[in-house]
Amino acid sequence: MNRKKKINSILKKKAKKANSKLHSSNKPKYVSKAERAKLAEEESKPDQE
């Protein structure tokens, strides 16, 4: 029974991963705090000139 259960769970995991790759997320890509600061600095530079 244990072997059957383990094989079944492995197959379910594989199917779940394959299914999740088909659906893309609407969530925006993560931008780190340092990157945000750098972007903000670049935005403010042209205004000063």
Angle at 26 between CA 20 and CA 30, to 5 degrees: 100
| Domain layout of the chain by residue ranges | 3-44
Percent of the chain's residues with pLDDT above 90: 61
Q: What average pLDDT does this structure show over 6-21?
A: 95
> Tens of pLDDT along 18-34?
998 888 878 888 999 99
Q: 26: which DSSP letter?
A: -
pLDDT band for 17, please (50, 70, 90 cuts). Answer: very high
Q: Tell me the CA distances in angstroms from 19 to 13, 31, 37, one per residue in order.
A: 10, 26, 36
DSSP sequence for 1-49: -HHHHHHHHHHHHHHHHHHHHHSPP-SPPP--HHHHHHHHHHHHHHHH-
The pLDDT value given to residue 45? 83
The predicted model scores a pTM of 0.46
